[in-house]
Amino acid sequence: MGDERGVEEVHDLDPREFFERVHSFESWFHSVEGYLTGTEYGHRPRLGERPLPPAERERLITVLCNYCVGETAALEGASGLVGFAPNRPTKVFLSTQVVDEGRHLEVLLHRLGELGVVDPEAEVERRANPAIREFRRRLLELVASKDWEAALFAQNVVLEAMEFTVFQSHARSADPVTAEVLAGIVKDERRHIGFGENELGRRLRESPHRRARLSEVKRDLDALVLDTFEETLRELGLPASERPDLGRTYLAAVARLGFGR
């Protein structure tokens, strides 16, 4: 099934084949049914849940609140991009992404509820990191200005590649329920990153002058996301030796588009 391919493999597909394969609900449905069938709110219903020690639960809640801001930004960003995407197949892909991001937000809010948070919405407002909130604000500005390449780069490369790496690292050390929720999200994010790279890669080959604008966006925005996720990994108590991995997928993705760090 296509969803099992890694980001690199998706990227290696012939651009035309990629365009035809991923820009459809047909492909989306076959992907998600492979890993969501039988789950409820992103995890198997009878997965044994042990109560977390209070300090660990507190840290997890804060981290999930930050993820909720990232997913809200992606949901609002992707839905805004539908309005000025350059062609119909791209609008179709983005509509599958809107569904994915809405699902991510839903399962994360639900997970907060499972952890005993009575009002997840208020908790996100209370705990979320100012840097990720600022990223959301700037992303939505790029969307409002209908700057297709810049908004897509900020969302489907900068935000998604970092989320992908952090969710993967977190899933390795998380409790079984959170790990399963994150593993499902990561599979969706792979498609989104692949789409962003494919679309931007083609445009940069056609019009190399666009690179300067994207370098500007990268310089403005990547620190905000990087700061948030570095803090996330500290919250999770991951050893320092694992932290350099944080930007790996992100750096690989921007390197494939021809940007250095």
Q: Least distance from C-beta 75 to Fe ion, angstroms?
A: 8
Q: Which is nearer to Fe ion, 58 or 201 (CB)?
A: 201
Q: Least distance from C-beta 189 to Fe ion, angstroms?
A: 5
Q: Which is nearer to Fe ion, 74 or 150 (CB)?
A: 74
Q: Which is nearer to Fe ion, 111 or 192 (CB)?
A: 192
Tokens of 235: 């919250």
Q: Which is nearer to Fe ion, 104 or 218 (CB)?
A: 104
Q: Least distance from C-beta 19 to Fe ion, angstroms?
A: 19
Alpha-carbon distance of 132 to 72, in angstroms, equals 11
Q: Least distance from C-beta 104 to Fe ion, angstroms?
A: 4
Long-range contacts of 139-146, Cβ-Cβ distance < 8 Å, separation of 24 or more: 139/73, 139/77, 139/221, 140/73, 140/76, 140/77, 140/80, 142/217, 143/76, 143/77, 143/80, 143/81, 144/80, 146/83, 146/84
Using CA atoms, how far residue 214 sits from 51, 88, 119, 226, in Å, is 45, 24, 38, 17
Question: In this structure, is the dihedral angle defined by the CA atoms of residues 237, 241, 242 and 247, taken in order, positive or negative?
Answer: positive
Q: Least distance from C-beta 207 to Fe ion, angstroms?
A: 25
Q: Which is nearer to Fe ion, 101 or 123 (CB)?
A: 101
DSSP string of 59-73, one letter each residue? HHHHHHHHHHHHHHH
Q: Which is nearer to Fe ion, 167 or 244 (CB)?
A: 167
Q: Least distance from C-beta 164 to Fe ion, angstroms?
A: 8
Q: Which is nearer to Fe ion, 71 or 222 (CB)?
A: 71
Taking the CB of residue 131, how many other CB atoms lie within 10 A of it?
Answer: 19
DSSP string of 133-201, one letter each residue? HHHHHHHHHHHHTT-HHHHHIIIIIIIHHHHHHHHHHHHHHS-HHHHHHHHHHHHHHHHHHHHHHHHHH
Binding site for Fe ion (CB under 5 A): 71, 74, 101, 104, 160, 189, 192
Taking the CB of residue 140, how many other CB atoms lie within 10 A of it?
Answer: 17
Q: Least distance from C-beta 212 to Fe ion, angstroms?
A: 26
